[in-house]
């Protein structure tokens, strides 16, 4: 499944996104505030795509202009989050590369995924938490 917004494409991750993922996920200002350590190699990023970014509602955040992954957004369903044990609740998680901070891209992506969660997945609650030190 793919979602299109004014400036973005939200699409499933592909192994070919590993180089782009590494470019942004190696930044120590990005990963830790989203709950993961900075990536150390493209191979590690490829492994994350295969084993972490593989949930049914996990999407690469891409600009429409080039469809290259610059961030990630996910609705973490029951079984993938510790925020809920209910099937009609989920958690919204996201991050975006530092060079894209402050442009309103994640709020744009989140609006679409929240719409999808309530309208298409019939969620009653969508939670969103943050890690200590994440002032953004």
Domain layout of the chain by residue ranges: 3-127
pLDDT digits (tens, 9 = 90+) for 27-52: 998 888 777 889 999 999 999 999 99
Q: Which two tokens stand for residue 101?
A: 């901070």
Can you spell out the DSSP letters for 61-100?
EEETTT--EEEEEEEE-TTS-SS---TTEEEEEEEE-GGG
Predicted confidence at residue 129, as pLDDT, reads 80
Mean pLDDT rounded to a whole number for the chain: 92
Q: 88: which residues sit within 8 A by CB, 6+ positions away?
A: 122, 123, 124, 125
Neighbouring C-beta atoms of residue 20, cutoff 10 Å: 19
Check residue 136 and give its pLDDT. 66
Residue 103 has pLDDT above 70, yes or no: yes
Rounded mean pLDDT, 88-102: 94
Specify the pLDDT at position 86.
Answer: 86
Res 79: pLDDT: 75
Please state the rounded mean pLDDT for residues 83-96: 90
CA dihedral 130, 28, 100, 10 (to 10 degrees): -60
Span 57-77, mean pLDDT? 97
14, 49 contact by CB (below 8 A): yes
| pLDDT of amino acid 135 | 64
25, 18 Cβ separation under 8 angstroms: no
Residue with the two structure tokens 């019939």: 122
CA angle at 112 for the pair 90 and 49, rounded to the nearest 5°: 65
Report residue 87 as tokens.
Answer: 């099937």
pLDDT range class, residue 69, cuts 50, 70, 90: very high
Domain 3-127, CATH: 3.40.630.30
pLDDT bin (cut points 50, 70, 90) of residue 80 is: confident
| Banded model confidence at residue 133, pLDDT cuts 50, 70, 90 | low
- Please give the residue that has the higher pLDDT: either 56 or 84: 56
């Amino acid at each position: 499944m793919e979602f299109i917004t004014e400036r973005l494409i939200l699409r499933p991750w592909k192994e070919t996104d590993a180089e782009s993922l590494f470019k942004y996920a190696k930044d120590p200002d990005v990963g830790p505030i989203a709950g993961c350590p900075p990536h150390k190699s493209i191979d590690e990023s490829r492994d994350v795509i295969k084993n972490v970014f593989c949930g049914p509602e996990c999407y690469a955040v891409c600009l429409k202009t080039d469809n290259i992954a610059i961030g990630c957004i996910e609705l973490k369903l029951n079984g993938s989050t510790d925020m809920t044990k209910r099937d009609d609740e989920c958690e919204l998680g996201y991050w975006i590369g530092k060079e894209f901070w402050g442009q309103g891209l994640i709020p744009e992506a989140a609006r679409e995924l929240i719409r999808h969660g309530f309208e298409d997945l019939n969620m009653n609650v969508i939670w969103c938490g943050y890690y200590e030190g994440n002032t953004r």
